Amino acid sequence: MTTAILQVDRLCKSFGGVHAVRELSFSVEPGQILGLIGPNGSGKSTTVNALAGVFSVTSGEILLAGGHIQTLPEYERVSMGLARTFQTASVFSEFTVREQIRLGCNVTLHSHPLSSVFGIGRHPGEDEAVNQRIEDILELTGLVAVADDTVGTITAAEQRFLMIASALAAQPKILLLDEPAAGLVSHERKVLSHLIKAIRDTGISVLVIEHHMALIMEVCDRIVVLNFGSKIAEGTPEEIRNDQAVIDAYLGEAP
């Protein structure tokens, strides 16, 4: 049996009296796209924030590639291979797209942070490797044409793709996407579907939260369904589509 990239065991997160996530367990295997769905307020973003280390968990365990990470700070989890995007886009508008992606690369650098200024502590070949990685990410995310535009001037859809590009810059083992299709129109969602699968095909596992069922059903290998912070179902898209508890809680008319 292979080690899961991400394993979540009996995760609980309370805010005061609000049990946002209750006894949640699931795992993401290498090369897998896992969907996390559920009604508004069911605990999806709380789960992603707990995995990313935005706040401490109330109880439970989180393992990344077999190692416990639930007590580590956010930046250490990123450098160990867990990267995420946010439900709402927020980017530094004065940077170009390429510079923004370069910032995301910094967590992986071995050179001294000031090496590009003072020429000290440089690791040979690192600049070239980073430049190549940035070009590859621009290509993968379809941002080549706007690479030298400032972030504030690109479209809302391009900003969403840039958020994914910045997360990829950290060379993650797993990418957590919180509502990546928010604000995208139909043809942009199709591009996003292709991108998520292309990311998986490069060997990165993906955990995706989305309300757009067509996208979830198309890209996910497995789906976990939350309701009031608890897992109510887990299975393939086909199994979830036909699960009566899921239809009652969330899907309403089967899509």
Instruction: Check residue 156 and report its DSSP letter.
Output: H
Considering the complex, state which of residue 137 and residue 250 has its C-beta at the smaller distance from ligand ATP: 250
- Of residues 20 and 175, the one with the C-beta less far from ligand ATP: 20
Q: Show contacts with ligand ATP in window 137-176 (CB under 6 A).
A: none
Q: Is 45 in the site for ligand ATP (CB under 6 A)?
A: yes
Does residue 14 interact with Mg ion by CB under 5 A?
A: no
From 12-20, 70-78, 139-147, 235-243, give the range in contact with ligand ATP by CB under 6 A. Answer: 12-20
CB proximity list for 17: less than 8 A, separation 6 or greater = none
Q: Does 20 bind ligand ATP (CB under 6 A)?
A: yes
Question: What distances in angstroms separate CA 35 from CA 58, 64, 121, 143, one per listed residue?
Answer: 23, 18, 42, 25
How many Cα atoms within 13 Å fall on the side-chain side of residue 115? Answer: 14
CA distance 107 to 110: 9
Q: Does 41 bind ligand ATP (CB under 6 A)?
A: yes
**Candidate ranges 42-50, 133-141, 155-163, 193-201; the one touching ligand ATP (CB under 6 A):** 42-50
Out of 7, 46, 159, 227, the residue judged to bind ligand ATP by CB under 6 A: 46
* 58 is a contact residue toward Mg ion (CB under 5 A): no
Residue with smaller CB distance to ligand ATP, 40 or 56: 40
Tell me if 40 contacts ligand ATP by CB under 6 A: yes
Residues 85, 180 contacting (CB under 8 angstroms): yes
Q: Which of 33, 82, 73, 39 is nearest to 53 (CA)?
A: 73
Place of tokens 């999806």: 44
Q: How many CB atoms lie within 10 A of CB 178?
A: 22
Structure-token pair, residue 105: 């690369």
Q: Give the footprint of ligand ATP on this chain (CB under 6 A).
A: 15, 18, 20, 38, 40-46, 87
